[in-house]
Amino acid sequence: MASLKPAAVIGSGPNGLAAAVTLARAGVPVTVFEASETIGGGTRTAEVVRPGVLHDVCAAIHPMALATEFFRQFELTHRMEFVVPEVSYANPLDTPGGRHRAALAYRDLDRTAEALGRDGKAYARFYRPLVARLEGIADFTLGPTMLALPRDVIAAATVGLRTLEQGTALWNVRFREEAAPALISGVAAHSVGRMPNLASAAVGVVLGALGHAGGWPVPVGGSRAITDTLAADLFAHGGEIHTEREIKDVRELSSYGVKLFDTSARGLARIAGPVLPAKYRRALNRFSYGDGATKIDFVLDGPVPWADPRVSGAPTVHLGGSRAEGAAAELAVSRGQHPTHPYVLLVQPTDFDPGRNPDGVNAVWTYTHVPSGSDVDMRERVTAQIERFAPGFRDRVIGVHQTTAAGLSQYNPNYHGGDFSAGAINLRQLFARPQLSADPHRTPAPGIYLASSSVSPGPGVHGLPGWYAARSALRHDYHLPEPHLGV
């Protein structure tokens, strides 16, 4: 093993660390290079608003942490603690007469359906076959490439049909009221794009199914607990991490035989351009990025005063109103506008992880979608949208911090224009991410791999791009079998 050529991993997000852990466990000498002071990429937790109060800097809730193959093999839930609430997410709604109620997605599909009234049976019929074949669905949608033949054809067909329904003008055919479709489109809006469309629908189908199967877990201690767990395993197997070490040119790493890039496609082109074939470099530079996000963190002196108290039981809340209203907001963003009533994704982790912050303090995490590169101040619009469903919210705010889409891009150069997915989620880039290939993680340049959200299967805290890239490197450069990842 001592004769194995060393590997360098550029970037320490969950994908970069997943790649590093996989290689280190196979006996490869691994060094991770991180430009920032701290590791973690999209899984950092820090004192964003005020000292002593922790906010997740990027991702906060992790639907894929319990269900995807890398973390299952790594046995993440045996290494750290998650809280999985009974309610995965909620979607408050306006009702006639000024009253407010919310649609709640319980882990229990039948309980969810029971509360949805006339649409309950239709909602259950929509999700039941997805929940029943979740493993096959994850294998099909989160595999190394969408070009592979699905191992579970029925699961693939089920996803396809549901996506076709919810991604086209047919999306309201099975529903008669507002609550059920609002639940589905609230999740689909995570993809950041106009609705209905097939790519957003696919996101909603898969994330919704996860919500009714394993649930949407809250990591105890914040998202950085995932980073710390991966880093600890890397150190235990001889790996190294160097922070505040920005790699600007791949030739700085000439002593490393293999390089894996947890960077955006454009970042790979910038750093490794001198050694990449011109055709592939052009493909990387053509890779498209989506609209951005502006993140606004709040500190409250108590819980969010939801008009429907049941919303307090959901760690994730989609504040888009009805399906029609949410779709209108996302359409406006896609046209370069800042909607007056924006879609807001809110996370309230305090009740589920009370040890994270001082008693009596509620840390609230939100983001809203905006045009790429926006530096518009969205604090008032986001506050008003929360106040709409939680009257008295603004009176409880004792601290606030905004990171615009432009600021998010400065914070992490992989988030071009504030696109935290490191590449638009559209139909073409579901298949060609960043290129159409049976092994998209392996570049045409010897020993160079792409291991970020810019490559299949795309965004999410699941470590899969890094894991797939490392497995490809083990096959092609090291001729080694995949290592055991478990405890």
Do 301 and 355 lie in one domain? The reply is yes
By the 10 Å C-beta count (0-12 exposed, 13-18 middle, 19+ buried), 300 is classed as buried
* Domain termination site, one of 365, 391, 411: 411
Beta bridge partners of 9: 32, 260
CATH number at residue 467: 3.50.50.60
* Domain termination site, one of 356, 376, 411: 411
Contact criterion met (CB below 8 Å) for 229 and 80 = yes
Residues whose CB is less than 8 angstroms from the CB of residue 401 and which lie 6 or more positions away in sequence, other chains included? 48, 49, 296, 297
Range of the domain at 207: 69-218+291-411
Residue 487 inside a domain? The answer is no
Residue 356 inside a domain? The answer is yes
Q: Name the E strands within 304-439.
A: 316-319, 344-347, 362-370, 397-403
Do 192 and 336 lie in one domain? The reply is yes
Do 353 and 406 lie in one domain? The reply is yes
pLDDT attached to residue 97: 59
Question: Could you give the CA distance from residue 21 to residue 9 in angstroms, rounded to a whole number?
Answer: 10
pLDDT attached to residue 249: 97
Residue 48 inside a domain? The answer is no
Residue 416 inside a domain? The answer is no
pLDDT attached to residue 98: 57
Residue 56 inside a domain? The answer is no
CATH number at residue 119: 3.90.660
Chain length of the chain:
487
Residue ranges of the alpha helices (H) in 424-487? Answer: 427-431, 464-473
Domain count, the chain: 2
* Domain termination site, one of 370, 391, 411: 411
Do 390 and 349 lie in one domain? The reply is yes
Do 264 and 323 lie in one domain? The reply is no
User: SS3 string of 309-336?
Assistant: HHHHHCCEEEECCCHHHHHHHHHHHHCC
Do 271 and 317 lie in one domain? The reply is no
Residues whose CB is less than 8 angstroms from the CB of residue 222 and which lie 6 or more positions away in sequence, other chains included? 45, 54, 56, 60, 349, 353, 356
Question: Could you give the CA distance from residue 299 to residue 315 in angstroms, rounded to a whole number?
Answer: 16
Do 207 and 298 lie in one domain? The reply is yes
Do 32 and 179 lie in one domain? The reply is no
**Whole-model pTM over 0.85:** yes
Residues whose CB is less than 8 angstroms from the CB of residue 81 and which lie 6 or more positions away in sequence, other chains included? 219, 220, 221, 225
Spatial CA neighbour of 75 closest among 150, 9, 6, 25 = 25
Do 206 and 241 lie in one domain? The reply is no
Residue 86 inside a domain? The answer is yes
Question: Could you give the CA distance from residue 360 to residue 125 in angstroms, rounded to a whole number?
Answer: 42
Print pLDDT tens along the chain (487 aa): 458 999 999 999 999 999 999 999 999 999 999 999 999 999 999 999 999 999 999 999 999 988 899 999 999 999 999 999 999 999 999 976 556 799 999 999 999 999 999 999 999 999 999 999 999 999 999 999 988 888 999 999 999 999 999 999 999 999 999 999 999 999 999 999 999 999 999 999 999 999 999 999 999 999 999 999 999 999 999 999 999 999 999 999 999 999 999 999 999 999 999 999 999 999 999 999 999 999 999 999 999 999 999 999 999 999 999 999 999 999 999 999 999 999 999 999 999 999 999 999 999 999 999 999 999 999 999 999 999 999 999 999 999 999 999 999 999 999 999 999 999 999 899 889 998 899 999 999 999 999 999 999 999 999 999 999 999 999 999 999 999 999 9
pLDDT attached to residue 1: 45
Do 305 and 177 lie in one domain? The reply is yes
Supply 261's token pair.
């890039």
CA-to-CA separations, 357 to 300, 353, 363, 398, in angstroms, rounded? 11, 8, 8, 14
